[in-house]
Amino acid sequence: MPDVDRIRSQLALKAAEAACTRCPLYRNATQVVPGEGPARARIMLVGEQPGDREDIAGKPFVGPAGRILDQALEEAGLDRAKLFVTNAVKHFKFEPRGKRRLHKRPNAYEIDRCHYWFELERAIVKPKVIVAMGATAIRSVHGKPLTIAKARGRLLPLEDGGQMIATIHPSYLLRIRDDPGWRAQFKLFVRDLKLCKAA
């Protein structure tokens, strides 16, 4: 268990996360994928977990979902370089399928064990608003399950004085990219991101 009193910087947190064995996910992942961004970012974006590309690169949101996120941030008028971007779960959970590694959703135990690291990130960054993207992120940020449909489209108060915006995960937009309603869903995602400006 890391010494919490000594973890006061992103560098110290990254080193402690790299040695994490709090749940079994570290065994098969290539590496931990810590959050990244300015030390005092006003806005924190939280996804579910790293994907295949993120696991290899060691950076959050650099794969296909990351490209959609970048596009949506641009349309929302938000500069990714000024945001802190992370995931609720820090190791890639997957199922081998031939040469491919297919994403597998983290379970409640894995989310809860990794919540420790998310809380340390939050204490270091001190964001004013957290955008929780997808059900796993919402559970980690809010502390309990909450449906996107119930929480979406508004700023929700958090116990520490911050605020949360609940929205879809950009990977959902990847899954429906051939759907005629894709553009409408993308615009709703951009609308949710724009709420950050009101916080």
Give this prediction's pTM. Answer: 0.94
Question: What pLDDT does residue 32 have?
Answer: 97
Number of C-alpha atoms within 13 angstroms, CB side, residue 153?
5
pLDDT in tens, 115-152: 999 999 999 999 999 999 999 999 999 988 889 998 99
pLDDT in tens, 67-90: 999 999 999 999 999 999 999 999
Question: What pLDDT does residue 1 have?
Answer: 44
Say how far apart CA 122 and CA 163 lie, in whole Å. 12
Say how far apart CA 68 and CA 89 lie, in whole Å. 20
Question: What pLDDT does residue 134 have?
Answer: 95
Give the contacts of 1 (CB within 8 A, at least 6 positions apart).
none
Question: What pLDDT does residue 5 have?
Answer: 64
pLDDT at residue 4 is higher than 60? no
Region of 77 on the Ramachandran plot (φ > 0 left; ψ -120 to 50 alpha; else beta):
left
Domain architecture of the chain: domains with CATH: 4-194 (3.40.470.10)
Burial level of 112, CB count in 10 A (0-12/13-18/19+)? middle
CA dist list (Å): 148 to 10, 47, 131, 136, 152: 30, 13, 12, 11, 5
pLDDT at residue 3 is higher than 70? no
Give the contacts of 114 (CB within 8 A, at least 6 positions apart).
22, 23, 88, 89, 90, 91, 106, 140
